[in-house]
A = this chain, B = another copy of it.
Amino acid sequence: MAEPLGRRDLFRLPLQRAAAVLEPVVPRPRPEPGSEPGALASHADARRPTITVIAYGPHELTEAPVDDLELLRTMRGRWPVLWVNVDGVAHGETLRAVGEVFGLHPLALEDLGDVQQRAKVEEYPDHLFVVARMARLAPDLDLEQIGIFLGRDYVLTFQERPGDPLDTLRQRIRASRGRLRTGGPDYLAYAVLDAIVDHYFPVAEAYADRLDALEDEVLGRPSRGTMPRLHAVKRDLMALRRAAWPLRDALAALVREPGPLVSPGTVVYFRDTQDHAFQILDLLETYRELAGSLTDLYLGNQGRRANEIMKVLTVFAALFIPLGFITGVYGMNVPVPPGWWWTLSAALGAMAATALLLLLWFARKRWLGDDG
C-alpha cells in the first residue's frame, strides 16, 4: 500500500510536479466515436497483463500465477471462492479471453478498457460489475481505476496499472483471519470495495494537512507560491470528489437493491462501506469550503497590505512634497533678500507648522499606526 506522504514531503515537491496532478482530470484516448461497442482496442505498446489467482474455502487455499487461461477454466466450480486479479487493462486480447472464461458481458469488458469510467454498479444476468477508483498519493494524486466482477463463485479484479494496492487483503486471506475465509465471494467483493474506500482516508488527511499548512502561510507570510498551491489543492479535491461521488451513489444503489448475488448478511457490510463513502464526501466538501474561505482570506489580506503600503506612500509624499515646495519657493532665482535671516526663519517655521498639521491630520485618520 502506498505510504501517504507527510505534509513536509508534499511541499518539498517543486511546483511543476504539483502541476502534473491535473492529468487525471483529462480523459485518455478512447475508441473513435461511432465505433463498435465492446471493441477492445489493444494499445500498440500494451504488454500482456500479469494474472494471479487465489482459490480458497474455509479450510483450503491455493495461490498461483496464471500463464495459461485454461488454468482458470479448470479451477472454476471447484472452489468456493476464486479470486482472479488482472494487472493492467490495456491488452484487449487478454481481457476478451478472460471474459470468455467467465461469460462476461462485452459492454462490461469495454468499460474495463476505458480507464475514465465513473464509478458504478451494474447488474448483468450472471454477474455484478463494479467500477471504482482507488485514491493514492504517489506522491501526486493518483486515481487508479479498478473493475470488479462478482459472480456466483468468483471475484475478478482488474487493476489499471501493475502494483498491488490490495495486498493487505491478500495477506488477510492467507492468514485465514475472520469471516473472510468463511464468507462467500460477495464478502470478498465487499472486502475489496472496503479497501478501496478506506484508501481515501489517508489521502484526504494529507490534503487536510496541506490546507493546514496553507492556512498558516496565509495568516503568516503569504508568498508567491501560496495561491498556486491553494489552487493545486482545490484541483485535487475536485478530482477526488469526482471519483468519490459516483462511488457513493453506486454503493447506495447496491445496498438498496443488492440482487441475488449478495447475501442479506453481507449487505450490512456494504452499508458500512457506504457510510465510509459518505464520510469521505463530507470531508472533501468541508475541505473545498475551507479552501474557498482561505482564498477569501488571502484576497482580504492582500487588500489590507495594499492599503498599508499606500498609507506609507501617501504619508511620505503628502508630508514632504509641500515642504519641498516651500524650499523651492525660497530657492527661486532672485537676489538674496536683505533681511534673509528673518524670512528664512519664517520659511522654516512654516515648514515645521505644515509638517505638524499634516502629522496631526494623519494621526487623527490613524494612518500612522500599523493597523487596519
A contact residues vs B (CB 8 Å cutoff): 1, 15, 19, 22, 25-27, 30-39, 105, 107, 110-111, 116-118, 120, 122, 124, 166-169, 172, 177-178, 180, 191, 194-195, 198-199, 201-202, 204-205, 208-209, 212, 215-216, 219, 221-224, 227-228, 231, 234-235, 238-239, 242, 246, 268-269, 271-272, 275, 278-279, 282-283, 285-287, 289-290, 293-307, 309-314, 316-318, 320-325, 327-337, 340, 344, 347-348, 366-367, 370-372
Contacts and interface: CB of A to CB of B under 8 A. Distances in A.
A325 B320 contact: yes
A350 B122 CA distance: 80
A337 B324 CA distance: 21
A291 B198 CA distance: 30
**Taking each of A180, A279, A300, which has the highest tally of chain B beta carbons within 10 Å of its own beta carbon?**
A300
Determine chain A's interface SS by DSSP, over half rule.
Answer: helix
Contacts of A330: 332-333
A47 B212 CA distance: 30
A269 B37 contact: yes
A324 B328 contact: yes
The 7 closest A-B pairs by CB, nearest first: A327-B328, A34-B168, A33-B198, A34-B195, A313-B314, A316-B318, A302-B303
Contacts of A337: 333
A300 B295 contact: yes
Given A310-B314, A317-B321, 20 more contacts: A1-B34, A27-B208, A33-B199, A36-B178, A118-B282, A120-B275, A223-B372, A227-B297, A231-B296, A235-B290, A238-B290, A238-B293, A309-B314, A312-B314, A321-B324, A323-B325, A327-B331, A328-B331, A331-B332, A333-B334
Contacts of A118: 275, 278-279, 282
